[in-house]
Amino acid sequence: MNPRLKIIIPLAVAVLAGSAGVWWWNSHRGNDDVLTLQGNVEVRQVNLGFKVSGRIAALNVDEGARVEAGDKLASLDAVYFEDNLRQMRAQRDQSAANLAKMIAGNRPQEIAQAEALVAEREAASANAKVSLDRATQLLKSAAGTQKTYDDAAALNRQTTAQLASANEALRLMKAGFREEDIDLARAQLADKEAAIRIAERQRIDADLMAPTAGVVLSRVRELGAIVNAGETVFVLSLTTPVWIRSYVSEQELGRIKPGMVVELRSDTSQIKPLKGTIGFISTTAEFTPKTVETRELRTALVYRIRVVTDDPDNVLRQGMPMTIVAHPAAAVPPPRGIPSAEAK
């Protein structure tokens, strides 16, 4: 054999073996810069109902309708609430007038009338005293009878008492109402005003408003139905934000942080990749749930995480599988003030 071939052949074999080794290593080693997790979409739902009871007079949306926060979804018959509100306002006005009367006191005409009554009683009392003096003199001179004297004395006592009563009534007229009565009238007015505020809130609550943006998942009651307070009328699916639930193993836990931006991919090719943010990492380990199909992790302890994202095209559905792709090496540390998973 040619001596050159003896040297070239082993070198070529060594080069080929080294290239094959490098290829095998690159094809089998993991990518430490990428963390891939599997999760599912969690679309939150809320049951919407009126805060008050009544008859449904209008249903403004149907199943599948997209609504924004503050949209009116349904209304109750408002006639009962409006009648109750008018009644409460009338009672409030009555209490306010009564309080104003007590604060102002008695009218001058009423005081003048009481003064005239006192003058009348004074005249009657003076006349009765004169009659009693005359009867006393007649009785002493034996020209009068005991009955005449007794009648005059009784009349004098009666007119004196009537004069005292008229004087007290005049003093009450001038003094006005007691402070306790005024405080009672003021409290009654406050009670009526509070009742009006309650009636006004009940009138407002007769309209069912959307608390946030979402999609009407189902319409439970129909037009004309009598519903109780809190009874479900609509089921609203909240579209913003959308949560992705996933689990990370203990070995990979240190590679993610709250606030880390990740990429979300769906098995459906028509759905464009979305950006999400890790918003929650559980502080408690748990067994891998059955929905995670990786056989190697069946009995491993994992930590639940939540990825928050927006769904502007309304393409994500409850339970939809999603692939979460994170780049721990390129992740930006969370802003100061946001605790890490270990700090929690």
Res. 6 pLDDT band, cuts 50 70 90: low
Res. 236 pLDDT band, cuts 50 70 90: very high
- CATH architecture, domain defined by 44-78+207-234: Beta Barrel (2.40)
Per-residue model confidence as pLDDT tens digits over 45-78: 899 999 999 999 999 999 989 999 999 999 999 9
Q: Provide the whole-model pTM.
A: 0.60
Per-residue model confidence as pLDDT tens digits over 323-337: 999 988 655 454 444
- Nearest-CA neighbor of 173 among 217, 122, 118? 118
Cα–Cα distance measured from residue 196 to residue 204, given in angstroms and rounded to the nearest whole number: 12
Cα–Cα distance measured from residue 98 to residue 272, given in angstroms and rounded to the nearest whole number: 71
Per-residue model confidence as pLDDT tens digits over 183-215: 999 999 999 999 999 999 999 999 999 998 888
Q: Where exactly are the structural domains of the chain?
A: 33-43+238-326, 44-78+207-234, 88-197
Query: The domain 33-43+238-326 is classified under which CATH number: 3.30.499.10, 2.40.30.170, 1.10.1040.10, 2.115.10.20?
Result: 2.40.30.170
Mean pLDDT within 302-326:
87
Average pLDDT in the chain: 83
What beta strand segments (E) does the chain contain? 35-42, 45-49, 54-59, 66-67, 72-76, 207-209, 214-219, 226-227, 232-238, 242-249, 261-266, 274-287, 301-309, 321-326
Per-residue model confidence as pLDDT tens digits over 237-276: 887 788 899 998 888 888 888 999 999 998 887 888 889 9
Give the model's pLDDT for residue 336.
Answer: 45
